[in-house]
Amino acid sequence: MSETGTRYPTSSHEYEHLRPLFTELASLEADDPRRARIRDKLVTGHLPLAEHIAQRFSGRGVAKEDLVQVGTVGLINAVDRFDAERGADFLSFAVPTVMGEVRRHFRDTGWLVRVPRRLKELHLSLSNASTKLSQELGRAPTPSELAEHLGISKDDVYEGLEAGNAYNSTSLDEVLTADSDSAALGDLLGAEDAGLTGVENSGALEPLVAALPDRERKILALRFVHNLTQTQIAERIGVSQMHVSRLLARSLTELRRGLSEEDIPD
């Protein structure tokens, strides 16, 4: 990755007006209610910085929205850790912090194995094309429809789809967006006829389902109680079908693992 030579707004006059806020923040007691507001202002005011850096890393197989989120996490860390009294410039502190966060995202939560950039990009364009075609067709596209839409060979489609299996299911937005739709839990466990209360291992299942992250529980309910397709779920939740698929796989594995621990071998 070549970070050098590209320009991000380090000429601090763009953020000059925010400087006094750091001094103000430093002067407040740790439990001062005003701190939160100033911190928010600082983060919001510096957001273009996170966006610039995210932009620089885009086109590498990770969605730009994800990168902006990661960059923002880095920015929040930078605001929290910055010590205005040491006289350093915030930007010279923040830029490496935000970049470090983005790089860590690529390393830890992006692709599980080393996948050539061409394949990552191919996978991303397949994912985008799939979302678009699903809307047009009212169902998920087939590999040959994807090939035709993108003007590439079917073999390339196969390769790109397969590359997706090397993608880590832990995506940043799962960590950042708290989706507290507790109705989903009711869907799975509560409703007498629609839920899972009829299944014979529901007693063991209940705590396992309850332990899943909110969004995974919701997706599980939409697929296995409401019988929506993965594409319909993707539309409703606002992620790609491929992502829904990965989350379902992870939830099911988690439930199976939990249930097998319950099993007493005879």
Partner 1 sequence: MTDGTGKGSHDIELRLPADLVQLPIIRGLASTIATRADFDLDAIADLRLAVDEAASTLITKAAPESTMVCTFTLADDELRFTGRVLTREQQAPSTGTFGWRVLTTLTDSATGWIAANGQGNLMHIQLSKRKPVATP
# binding residues, partner 1 (CB under 8 A): 38
Q: Which is nearer to partner 1, 23 or 253 (CB)?
A: 253
Only one of the segments 50-58, 86-94, 172-180, 257-265 lies at the binding site for partner 1 (rule: CB under 8 A); that segment is 257-265
Binding span for partner 1 by CB under 8 A among 21-29, 61-69, 81-89, 228-236: 228-236
Report the residue number, 73 or 189, with the smaller CB distance to partner 1.
189
Binding status of residue 197 toward partner 1 by CB under 8 A: no
Return the residue of 12, 27, 144, 168 that touches partner 1, per CB under 8 A: 144
Q: Is 262 in the site for partner 1 (CB under 8 A)?
A: no
Question: Interface residues for partner 1 in 117-136 (CB under 8 A)?
Answer: 130
Among positions 151-190, residues that touch partner 1 (CB under 8 A) are 158, 161-162, 165
3-class secondary structure for the chain?
CCCCCCCCCCCHHHHHHHHHHHHHHHHCCCCCCHHHHHHHHHHHHHHHHHHHHHHHCCCCCCCHHHHHHHHHHHHHHHHHHCCHHHCCCHHHHHHHHHHHHHHHHHHHHHECCCCCHHHHHHHHHHHHHHHHHHHHHCCCCCHHHHHHHHCCCHHHHHHHHHHHHHECCCCHHHHHCCCCCCHHHHHHHCCCCCCCCCCCCHHHHHHHHHCCCHHHHHHHHHHHCCCCCHHHHHHHHCCCHHHHHHHHHHHHHHHHHHHHHHCCCC
Residues that bind partner 1 (CB under 8 A): 130, 138-144, 158, 161-162, 165, 196, 198-202, 205, 223-224, 227, 229-231, 241-242, 244-245, 248-249, 252-253, 255-256, 259-260, 263
